[in-house]
Amino acid sequence: MPKNLETPRVFVAATRMNDGKTTTALGLLSALQQRRPRLGYIKPVGQRFVDIEEQKIDEDSVLMQRVYQLEAPLVDMSPIAVEPDFTRRYLESSNNETLVRRIEKAFDRVAWEKDFVLVEGTGHAGVGSVFDLSNATVARLLHSKVVMVTQGGIGRPIDELAMNQALFEREGVQILGVILNKVIPEKLDYIANFARKGLRRRGLRLLGVIPHQPLLSSPTLAAIRDDLEADVLNSTAGINNIVDRVVVGAMSVHNAMHHLTPGALVIAPGDREDILLAAGASLNRVDSTGTLAGIILTDNIRPSVAVMKIVREMPYPVLLAEGDSYQVASRVHDLTVKTRPSDTQKIQMIRDLVARHVDVDALMELITA
């Protein structure tokens, strides 16, 4: 077990992937920092990672460290990164004790001289069971109580919570309460009222109901560029533009002009120079109230030299990607949107949402009781 058993801590888990666990953790850290300035953060088991100084570090650990300037080595905030062959190697060697010690020592270093530590899980309670480190097991190892995050609603969230609750209880881990995320704003009070009743029947407390914000589910051009491994044909100014809607340029220029609206991402073959020229012309329209989010040219076809001069002057990114327009549009549609340190608008919104809609004081009382 970790040596540090005194520093208050909470384990943030979710009923399934993409329920908003990281978003909630990001907002909770901001609220907690106002109450306990010296904060620690750790994601014991991570599945999406980046390479930093020859170390594989979970993306969420990088996000928290850069946003909140946390004083701990990234390698301790992300002790285990599940690489593609991680599970196979574990099943061959079953080095559970080594992994447990790595998590416990990393936690002790993260918690050193801290007022509070937030532990972020990975997916639902059972994720990691294949290598004997499920979320429920890790929460027990770290002697942490749990807050569950689930998507808004009444029936399905409570059904999913019941399954997760059973696994945590089997490990002897206490769930302090539940945060409902992505709730339709018009149904906020209605959902809160019935969810509170349903949770109470399971001995669970409703700690917050966060309304759905489309902005948080919208990708930036930077995220799309990285996912497509696309080239930027002009300035990267506006690379953090948020995409409100996607327009596939499989239409006449006359019809396309109606879709060249602020926040739109236009996807078109690289040889549709007529659409590029129309986009350039739209910038000079008298009734123009804003610009596109960006343009993606597909099939890896570069525009002619003359059109490239116009592209370089466009005030938003123009990307060049492989694959046809349908393939590119499908990848953009299926992109899992993760908050990045550069997403300042989203981060501020997340902070405000958690501060306004989650009872952080009640959570702190439950943790330290």
Q: What is the H or E stretch that residue 138 is in?
A: helix 135-141
Q: Are residues 86 and 124 in the same domain?
A: yes
Span 261-270, average pLDDT: 92
278 falls within a domain: yes
Mean pLDDT of the 76-96 span: 88
Q: Note whether 169 and 297 are same-domain residues.
A: no
Domain assignment of residue 304, yes or no = yes
4 found inside a domain: no
What pLDDT does residue 286 have?
Answer: 40
pLDDT at 199: 93
Q: Give the residue carrying structure tokens 């340029």.
A: 249
My answer on whether 155 and 285 are in the same domain is no
**Enclosing domain of residue 232:** 221-334
Q: Which CATH number does the domain housing residue 30 bear?
A: 3.40.50.300
CA distances from 48 to 53, 109, 135, 146, 149 (A): 16, 22, 16, 22, 19
**pLDDT in the model for residue 288:** 45
Q: What is the pLDDT of residue 287?
A: 44
- Predicted TM-score (pTM) above 0.85: yes
Cα(97)–Cα(102) distance, rounded to whole angstroms? Answer: 9
Mean pLDDT of the chain: 91
Percent of the chain with pLDDT over 90: 72
With cut-offs at 50, 70 and 90, classify the pLDDT of residue 51. confident
Angle among Cα 269, 270, 272 to the nearest 5 degrees reads 70
Please tell me the predicted confidence (pLDDT) of residue 296: 96
Q: Output Rg (C-alpha) for the chain, integer angstroms.
A: 23
Give the per-residue pLDDT at 48.
86
Residues 114-152 have pLDDT tens digits of 999 999 999 888 999 999 999 999 999 999 999 999 988
Q: Determine the pLDDT at residue 113.
A: 93
pLDDT in tens, 345-362: 999 999 999 999 999 999
Burial of 366 (0-12, 13-18, 19+ CB in 10 A): middle
Task: Indicate whether 284 belongs to any domain.
Answer: yes
67 and 88 in a single domain? The answer is yes
Question: Do 210 and 345 belong to one domain?
Answer: yes
What local confidence, expressed as pLDDT, does residue 120 receive?
97
Q: Is residue 3 part of a domain?
A: no
Q: What is the full DSSP assignment across 199-250?
A: HHTTT--EEEEEEP-GGGGSPBHHHHHHHHTPEESS--TTTTPBP-EEEE--
Q: Are 208 and 262 found together in one domain?
A: no
Same domain flag for 324 and 190: no
**Does residue 110 have a pLDDT over 90?**
yes
The CATH number of whichever domain residue 266 belongs to comes to: 3.40.1390.20
Assess whether 161 and 20 both reside in one domain.
yes
Closest CA to 28 of 146, 118, 125, 111: 118
In a domain, 298, yes or no: yes
The DSSP call for residue 358 is B
Q: How far apart are CA 124 and CA 165, in angstroms?
A: 10
Residues 149 and 291 in one domain: no
Give the model's pLDDT for residue 4: 82
Q: Name the domain count of the chain.
A: 2
Q: Structure tokens of 92?
A: 């061959």
* pLDDT tens track for 17-29: 888 899 999 999 9
**Whether 270 and 350 share a structural domain:** no
The answer to whether residue 1 sits within a structural domain is: no
Question: H-helix or E-strand containing 298?
Answer: strand 294-298
pLDDT in tens, 282-334: 766 544 446 899 999 999 999 999 999 999 999 999 999 999 999 999 999 99
Identify whether residues 135 and 251 lie together within a single domain.
no
- Whether the Cβ atoms of residue 303 and residue 313 lie closer than 8 Å to each other: no
C-beta separation of 62 from 43 below 8 A:
no
Q: Do residues 105 and 234 share a domain?
A: no
- The strands making up 9-14's β-sheet, listed across from edge to edge, are 39-42, 116-120, 9-14, 145-151, 175-183, 206-211
**pLDDT recorded at residue 237:** 87
Residue pair 205/199 in contact (Cβ under 8 Å)? The answer is: yes
CB 7 within 8 A of CB 117: yes
β-sheet bridge partners, residue 267: 248, 296
pLDDT at residue 290, rounded to an integer: 62
Q: In this structure, are strands 294-298 and 264-269 parallel, antiparallel, or unpaired?
A: parallel
| Residue 284: predicted pLDDT | 60
